Every structure is written in structure tokens, then in C-alpha cells.
Amino acid sequence: MTQPVAPTAESSALSVELSAMPLALTLVESHCAATLRQRSATLLKRHLGLALAECLYIDGSGRWLGRDGDEGQFDCGDFHHPYAHVIRSGKPLTLSVADARIRLDHPGFQSQVASLGSALHLHVRPLRGVEGTREWLGVMLLAGTPARLLALTEDPGMAAFEALLCRLWMRLAREQGERHRSRILQDSLAKLNDGTRRQALADQLAEDLLGQSAAMQALRRHIVRAAETNLAVLLQGETGTGKDRVARAMHQLSARANGPFMAINCAAIPEALLESELFGHGKGAFSGADHAREGLISQADGGTLFLDEIGDMPLALQAKLLRVLESGRYRPLGENEERCADLRVVAATHQPLREQIKEQRFRADLYYRLGQFPITLPPLNERRDDIAQLAQSFITDFCAREGRDEMGITPAALRLLYRRDYPGNVRELKNVIDYACAMTPHGADIDTYVLPGEQDSQLADSGLDDMVAPAEEMPLALPGDIDDLRQTMRDIESTIIRQRLRLFGGNRAQAAQSLGLPKRTLAHKCQLLELDIK
């Protein structure tokens, strides 16, 4: 493809031009490899009168040649363009534009040289980081007259220019790689620190929002993320799942923690009074308004406003609330001047708002404005692993509130609690525990007969443990003639412990928990009874 052309006088000043100090400084001052490539191409084209000069770079995969400015890329294995020939051979290539248009049909390459005259020639040079290595940087494309291109290939100034370009390119590429790795490391450390901080806050929430189930751990993480924003939060879930506690926890973790937390149940206040409660009113606004009153929106300024049972808010009031959310402005009843409030709204409902929207009982625009950060609270039936911890917490609260001595709960009673349905969720469980605590005699633990709905004599007399015990446990056969009660009790205890260990595959912690015993106590009993618990 190469067509030799005799040197001409037009190359006599090339060495001086290409090695001039200002040109070298222009390249050295480049702050990134892309700028270096662009400046190099501009200098070659401007000072040497070339029709085209461009530097293409090999990407990190080594498969693609890219052009600065997102102007397309070339596959290094596609020989429909000249760059693949140069990369594969490692040698420069010169050909006429006319030949290139006939022999090379790559669309991107043809578009690149479309504006060039057929009399011009193309010269493609491979660029490496350090001479003698296989570390490719890219290729250089030059277009000009045959005489000018031949002069360039033989000119020492061009060789010096190319060497400087490759050295600077290599250095900038390495610096950019180091900066990239440094950013990745910093981002990783920042994410790690953020993750550690968020996990610490989520663990802190576990003191108030009890439960170690996967559903509760996920809920606490969502609360932490929501607290970091100023977005409106919509809490959805069945009744009794603790939406009010979640709202307060979110406020305490937010940047508004030092501000007020104001709450209102939209279903508990008559429609005629709800607007006054929220927006306040001026003196004489309606009959009986003998003095002005600040509404909850005003009182929540700088803090959080919790709107419980938002699904029961009247449509007319929904429109006014939407304006507060969008502009922060509101007008008390009976007043002409608007006021401003800076607050974060947390709303909650157990109602299906999407169905209410279809029935035109709830505004769609308010729903989407409230639901900037939606959170769904899990029902108790989806977190049964938390029942034991919740029950013990409610027992402790009852004893402290009523001045009762500490009490526990028997394994049989706990098994019944696990098997119950809880349409009222955590609130229902608390009511069950409070009732059972009140019915339990002093000095005793909560047992099955004091649980509401479980006093049926048939259940109590027919062996309740058999009904609720796991299927893997066989009922105990008591001997007809007992002449040593102590030994008989030891045998029964030994049998029960053996069955429970076998049920849990030898896991002492689970067996102890199912029997209502500390793990250390179970281990001591196994030692006394000479049971193998390994």
C-alpha cells in the first residue's frame, strides 16, 4: 500500500517546528490524556498543514479503539478499517484515500475520511507506552499530501514529538488510573463508614422496635434511610403493627430530632374540627372561637407532623394539605394572611389507598406526594420469631406498671402464642399478655389456662401439651406402679430432654429455649442425668 515519495524542501523546517519549546510546553501542561491527544492533533494539523490529525486510544479491555468526544469506536479485531492492521502488525501503514475508499468498507472509518480529497494519503502509526514493550496506547492518524507524510516519517523532530507524546500519555494514564483507584477506595471506605453508621442506628432502633426477624431488620434499615432524607413518608400496614412508634423513631433519627413531633389521628376527630386542629383558626372564625389558636401545622414548624389514618381525611381537606406539602404555605381558618411552615410529614394508614383513589375517596396527587418514601410494616404473622421477645417485653412493662413481682411464661403458653392468629398484630399480642399477667397469681408464671380464649376445660383436661407439641415428640408413658417418685421424675425429665435434643438435632440453645430453660441450666441437667449433648 505504501507509495514512496521523494523528500522535498517543505520538510526542511519540520524538526525545528516540532521540537520547539512552546509546543512541548503545551503538551506537558495537559491535565489528562484526552486533552493531551486533542492538543497533539491540533498542533500537528496547524503547524504542518495536514488535512487531518487524530489520536485514537485503546480502552481498558484492549479490544476497542475509542475516539475522544464519544464519536464512535473501532473493534481492534475488525480488519475492515486500517487501525486493526496497524495494531496487529505493530508497524505504520500508508495508503491513499482513494485506495481506502475502495478496499476498506468500515462505515465509521469511511465517515471519518469522507471529507478528504482522493489525492491525499493516510498515514496510521501505532503508539506504545515505552519502546520495546507491548503496552499499547493507541494509534495516530495523519492525512496530507504524499510528500508531506513522507517527510514526517523521516524527520527526527516528528520522532521526538511522538516519543514525548507517548511518555506524557503513559504518565497521565497511570496518574488517572491511580486517581481512579483512589476514588474507588475512598468511595468504598465512605460506603463502609455509611454502612457501619446506618447499622449502628438500626441496632439502636432495636431497643424500641423489638424483633430480630428478617422482616424487622429490613424495616429498621428502611427507617434509617428514610430519616436521612426530608421526603414525605407513607407508612402502610395492618392495624396494630406499630406505625406510630415507627414515625416517632424516624423523627428521633432525623435532622429534625430537636424540633417538635406533633401527631393527630385523622379518624378520631370529627370532620368539622379536623381542619381547625390542623390549620388553626383566628378569633371569631366560627361560633365559639373566642380566641385565636395555633394549629398542629404551626406547632410542628421545624419538626415532624404525623398524620395517622390519613385515609379517613375528607377530600376537601386533602386538597389543602396537598398545598402545604407542595409550597409549605397555609392559611388558618378565619384569617386572610398566609403563613409558612417548614415541616416533614409522615402519614400512616391501614386502608388500601389505591382502591380509595379508584373510588374517588382519596386524591391521587396527594397519594403520590405523601408516598415519596413508602414503607410497609410487616404483620405479626410474618414475624412470629419475634413473639417470645415481644411477650417478655410486655410482661416486664406490665410488672413495672402494676408494681408486680417479675414473672415468666411457661413453654406451653409460649407455644400457644406462637400458634395463634393475630388480626390485631402486636397490639393484640400486648392485650393478650396484659390480660394473662393480670390473671396470673402472684409468684407464678403465665400458663396456658390464663390466656384469653384458651380456658376451655376440654383443652386443659385432654393434654394440651400433646395437642401443641411438635409431631416428632412422642407422649410420655407413665409407669402404673411408682415406688420411687424422685427417680421417676428424673426418668421423665431425662426422656423429655432427650426428645427435645433429638427434635432440634442436638442444638442445646434451641432445646433450652423450647423448654423455657437457660442454656446453662440445660447443660447442668444433662450432666446430672448423664445425657450426651454433644
CA distances from 59 to 40, 120, 127 (A): 19, 29, 13
**Does domain 9-177 correspond to CATH entry 3.30.450.40?**
yes
* Rounded distance between C-alpha atoms, residue 47 and residue 273, angstroms: 83
The whole-model pTM stands at 0.53
Q: Which part of the chain has CATH 3.30.450.40?
A: 9-177
Q: Which part of the chain has CATH 3.40.50.300?
A: 214-282+294-378
Residues 162-200 as b or e (16 or more Cβ within 10 Å = b):
bebbbebbbebbeeeeeeeeeeeeeeeeeeeeeeeebee
User: Tell me, what DSSP letter sits at residue 267?
Assistant: T
In this prediction, residue 24 carries a pLDDT of 64
* Rounded distance between C-alpha atoms, residue 285 and residue 268, angstroms: 22
In this prediction, residue 188 carries a pLDDT of 60
In this prediction, residue 22 carries a pLDDT of 62
CA distances from 56 to 5, 37, 146, 266 (A): 26, 8, 22, 66
- C-alpha dihedral, 128 to 133 to 134 to 136, nearest 10°: -20
In this prediction, residue 387 carries a pLDDT of 94
- Out of 1.10.1500.10, 1.10.10.60, 3.10.180.10, 3.60.15.10, select the CATH number for domain 475-534: 1.10.10.60
In this prediction, residue 218 carries a pLDDT of 92
User: Tell me, what DSSP letter sits at residue 453?
Assistant: T
The side-by-side arrangement of strands in the sheet containing 64-66 is 73-75, 64-66, 52-58, 136-144, 121-128, 93-96
> pLDDT in tens for each of the 534 residues of the chain?
444 444 444 444 444 444 455 666 677 778 888 888 888 888 888 888 899 999 998 887 778 888 887 677 898 888 889 998 888 888 899 999 999 888 888 888 998 888 999 899 999 999 887 655 557 788 999 999 998 888 888 888 888 888 888 888 888 887 876 666 667 666 666 655 666 777 888 888 888 899 999 999 999 999 999 999 999 999 999 999 999 999 999 999 999 999 999 999 998 888 878 888 898 877 766 766 667 788 899 999 999 999 999 999 999 899 999 989 988 888 888 788 888 889 999 999 999 999 999 999 999 999 999 999 999 999 999 999 999 999 999 999 999 999 999 999 999 899 999 999 999 999 999 999 999 999 988 888 998 888 887 544 333 343 334 433 443 444 455 555 677 777 777 778 888 888 888 777 677 877 887 888 888 788 878 877 777 644
In this prediction, residue 23 carries a pLDDT of 63
In this prediction, residue 462 carries a pLDDT of 38
* Rounded distance between C-alpha atoms, residue 279 and residue 289, angstroms: 14
For the domain spanning 214-282+294-378, the CATH number is 3.40.50.300
CA distances from 498 to 60, 436, 471, 510 (A): 63, 31, 15, 13
In this prediction, residue 5 carries a pLDDT of 41
Q: Which part of the chain has CATH 1.10.10.60?
A: 475-534
* Rounded distance between C-alpha atoms, residue 143 and residue 396, angstroms: 87
**Kind of pairing, strands 121-128 and 344-349?**
unpaired
CA 286 from centroid of its chain's CA atoms: 49
Q: Given this structure, which CATH class describes domain 379-469?
A: mainly alpha
Q: Which part of the chain has CATH 1.10.8.60?
A: 379-469
